[in-house]
A and B are shown apart, each in its own frame.
Chain A
Amino acid sequence: MSDEERSGADRRNFLKTSLLGTAAVASGIGGLFGRFNPSTGALEVSSARADTRLKMAFVQFQPHTVSTAWGKGIAEVLATQQIVDYDQLDGQAKLEVQVSLMDTLISQGVNVIFLQPVDSVGVAPSIAKAKRAGIAVITLNIDATEPHAAHVEMNHYFGAMDIAKAMGDAMGGKGKVAILNAPPGIIIRDQRTNGFTDGLKKYHPDIQVVSDQVADWDRKKAQDVLTTVLAANPDITGVYGVNDSMALGAMDVAKDKGLKLVIFGNDGEKAALEAIEAGDMTGTQYTDVFQQGRLAAAVATVLASGGVSAKAFASQGHLLMPYIIATKDTVGQIQPSQRW
């Protein structure tokens, strides 16, 4: 074959394959999603859902024990309503992914969006867009700068104050404390830190915070950071991890070096509760996150089924979750089914 004939044959082959390919894919998809309507004899493809059902979605920060537990609580309540279609989407810890997901949900016409923002300012334009479409946005734990329907929170500030009180009591009212902190620039970190320091000032003014280092919410990083801090301040008797992972890291260091430290975390993870029962960790702020999901879903169901538009709100709603400062004495109250 000459070059021209060959390229002509190639072109025909290419067209043939792409047409066959299209037909194959289309019939495959038609088979997957289509139905044969017996009365009209036509092949139908599933269309958008009927309008009487409510649609809700949860855009999480990234897969994590906390957001998974929220999702379980939310799904439990929404499934009971029988008329809600619910989806849990992953923000992959990326702001632009969350914004894109919210745009998609808004154009789908959902009724309520549950949101755990990657950043409080970055999601504000999307929340404003949702509000214009009448969609209620309920944020979990991390607030956003754009007023929205409701913010359901683990009670970061007041809980941290109570942690300071309990920690001071355990330390006998005096001593030195190190804080293992989250990277700066996040609201929840400021709330939990300020609550702690304000609580110390109020209840135990003799206790000093001698170190406040970043351990990236991470157990391993906390181990390294605390080891360094203890080398510089060997007389530290108390450690506050702004989340349980970091407090557990402190516990690892204390066990390793045989030190008797008063260690408090924040969140109430299963691992932390077990450490408290074993006596290795002193306490944490425990919130029932399944319940947090359920309460958020309750708010959502009432708003959506009542036909309340997001535009009807005069100001942003706030809901602080009840909590327990779990110590050796109180940790027994927390049932196994409540542990996450």
Chain B
Amino acid sequence: MHVRRATIALIVFFALTISLFSLVAPRFATTSNMENLMGGFSFIAILAMGEAFPILTRGIDLSIGAIVALVGMVVFDLSLIFHVPGYVILAVALAVGALAGALNGLLIVGLRLQPFIATLATLATYRGVVYAISGRQLVPGLTTTPIADPWITGLETYFDIGGALGTDDFLPLPWFPLSFFVMLAMLAVLSVFLLRTKVGRDIYAVGGNAEAARLAGINTGRIILLAYALSGLCAAVAALLLVARLTTATEALGFGMELSAIAAAVIGGVSLSGGVGSVFGPALGAFLLGAVLLGLTLLGISQYVQQIITGLILLAAVGYDRFLLIRRQRRLAANVA
């Protein structure tokens, strides 16, 4: 399996960051901090993995934060107003997310809208729908009612792996949240899908050169629709994990999360010009951002400085992406010449 240089650089940088913070930040190298990293950023990793698909097709999905809110509010309403059983809610939530993403795809493919414009429009529309269907505003008293359905609250469970394996004596292990395992499972499935199936390879082809892909017989419309539907589906999974963690959904849920997901995806090596990237990179990128944020908070560094540092990391990642792109183009030109 060919591992890209960018991915290796990311893994090295991640390892360096963890080691650095373990040395200088008090309480960073503790099991509880690792639990916070996994519990607090697994859903961002899932969002980033979902965001990778539209970016791979040379598009972008700005509406995933709004889709998170939409799915969250649907779960809230179904659970607290209509008392629908939990396993049905899970299925409906995933369907709503996938459909919301598919709508993005339809706007882009059918109406030939620019992905930026289309998803910007759906971002505003979905937020509006969230406010319109908000159970917190329709039924007074629900603002103080937590979601108690075991199928949903069960998503926020921690597993004492160390205790089960008996390793606690010589290697204290953190308690692993279920959201981390959900993230790993999605990583595995999406990786296999992207790298080993024809449809996955078609996604790369469409992103690399959409016209060439179309001429080669790939149904580019269907591929783009699928990419955005996957993005919506990942947003739905992230929403379920987030709602389980908070035991509620708010109208402002997921506000600004699309930017974190895009940053994580770009840091993870997904090229904004399409056709280059993986799902492992975005997931690791999300945990890298998480580790940096947690480490800087533990160091007592102001949150405004944290945002500056996050911006600098993003700039470095984009700069490295551009540098690799230019070198790739130069090498292609040298080969042709």
Residues of A at under 8 Å CB distance from B? 14, 18, 22, 25-26, 29, 33, 45-49, 87, 89-90, 92-96, 99-101, 103-104, 106-109, 118-122, 124-125, 145, 183-187, 190
Q: Please name the residue on chain B nearest to A90 by beta carbon.
A: B303
> Which residue of chain A is the closest to B335 with respect to CB atoms?
A3
Q: Which of B144, B246, B297 contacts A125 (CB 8 A)?
A: B246
Which chain A residues border B20 with CB–CB below 8 Å? 25-26, 29
- What's the nearest-Cβ distance from chain A to residue B174, in Å? 10
Tell whether, in the assembled complex, residue A96 and residue B303 are in contact, meaning their CB atoms are under 8 Å apart.
no
The residue from A18, A94, A124 contacting B12, defined by CB atoms under 8 A apart: A18
**Known contacts being A95-B250, A185-B136, is A121 close to B32, with CB within 8 Å?**
no
Is there an interface contact between B26 and A49, defined as CB atoms closer than 8 Å?
Answer: yes
Supposing A119-B248, A122-B246 touch, asked if A187 and B143 sit within 8 A by C-beta, the answer is: yes
Chain B stretch 158-205: residues in CB contact (< 8 A) with chain A? none
Residues of A within 8 A of B242 (CB): 96
Write out the residue numbers on chain B whose beta carbons fall within 8 Å of the beta carbon of A100. Answer: 36, 40, 293-294
Residues of A near B297 (CB, < 8 A) are 89, 101, 104
One of B23, B26, B39, B252 near A103 (C-beta < 8 A):
B39
Q: Which chain B residues in 53-67 approach chain A with CB under 8 Å?
A: none
Other A-B pairs beyond A46-B24, A107-B35, A120-B143, 14, CB < 8 Å: A22-B16, A45-B24, A94-B255, A95-B253, A100-B36, A104-B294, A106-B32, A107-B32, A119-B246, A119-B248, A119-B250, A125-B156, A185-B137, A187-B143
Is A95 in contact with B246, judged by CB distance below 8 angstroms?
Answer: yes
Give the 3 A-B CB pairs with smallest separation, nearest first: A48-B26, A185-B136, A107-B32
C-alpha gap A228/B85 in the complex (Å): 44
Least CB distance from A328 to B in Å reads 36
Interface centre among A100, A121, A190 (most CB of B within 10 A): A121
Chain B residues positioned under 8 Å from A184 (CB to CB): 136-137, 140
Residues of A within 8 A of B304 (CB): 90
- Complex contacts, A106 vs chain B, CB 8 Å: 32
Any A CB within 8 A of the CB of B33 = yes
Give min CB distance, A52 to chain B, whole Å.
Answer: 16
Taking CB atoms, residues of chain A closer than 8 Å to B145 are: 121
Q: Which residue of B lies closest to A18 (CB)?
A: B12
A96 touches B246 (CB 8 A): yes
- Asked if B246 and A103 sit within 8 Å, CB to CB, the answer is no
A118, B12: Cα distance in complex, Å: 37
A2 CB to closest chain B CB (Å) equals 13
Q: Which residue of A lies closest to B21 (CB)?
A: A29
Write the nearest CB–CB distance from B237 to chain A, whole angstroms: 15
Q: Tell me if B125 is interfacial: C-beta within 8 Å of chain A.
A: no
| A107→B39 CA distance, assembly (Å) | 13
Task: Say whether A94 contacts B252, CB under 8 Å.
Answer: yes
B30 within 8 A of A: yes
Q: Does B5 contact A (CB under 8 A)?
A: yes
The answer to whether A145 touches B144 (Cβ under 8 A) is yes
- B contact set with A: CB distance below 8 Å: 5, 9, 12, 16, 20, 23-24, 26-27, 30, 32-33, 35-36, 39-40, 134, 136-137, 140, 143-146, 156, 242, 245-248, 250-253, 255-256, 293-294, 297-298, 300, 303-304
Query: Do B27 and A45 have beta carbons less than 8 Å apart?
Result: no
User: In the complex, A186 Cα to B143 Cα: how many Å?
Assistant: 7
Given the interface pairs A107-B32, A108-B27, the reply to whether A99 lies near B246 with Cβ below 8 Å is yes
A157 → chain B, closest Cβ, in Å? 15
Complex Cα distance, B298 from A101, in Å, reads 10
CA separation between A108 and B255, bound complex, in Å? 27
Cα distance A18–B251 in the bound complex, in angstroms: 44
Q: How far is the CB of B137 from chain A (nearest CB, A)?
A: 4
Contacts of A96 in B (CB 8 A): 40, 242, 245-246, 253
- Residue from the list B36, B293, B300 in contact with A107, Cβ < 8 A: B36
Nearest CB on B from A90, distance (A): 5
Q: Please indicate the chain B residues that have their CB under 8 angstroms from the CB of A187 in the complex.
A: 143-144
CB-based contact B26/A125 at 8 Å: no
CA distance A106 to B30 in the complex (A): 12
CB-CB < 8 A to B36: which residues of A? 100, 103-104, 107
Min C-beta distance of B176 to chain A, whole Å: 15
The answer to whether A108 touches B40, judged by C-beta atoms less than 8 angstroms apart, is: no
Q: How far is the CB of A134 from chain B (nearest CB, A)?
A: 14
How close is A338's CB to chain B, nearest CB, in angstroms? 28
Complex interface: chain B residues within 8 A of A103 (CB): 36, 39-40
Known interface pairs A87-B300, A101-B297; A120-B40 also in contact (CB < 8 Å)? no
Given contact pairs A93-B252, A96-B246, A124 touches B146 in the complex (Cβ within 8 A): yes
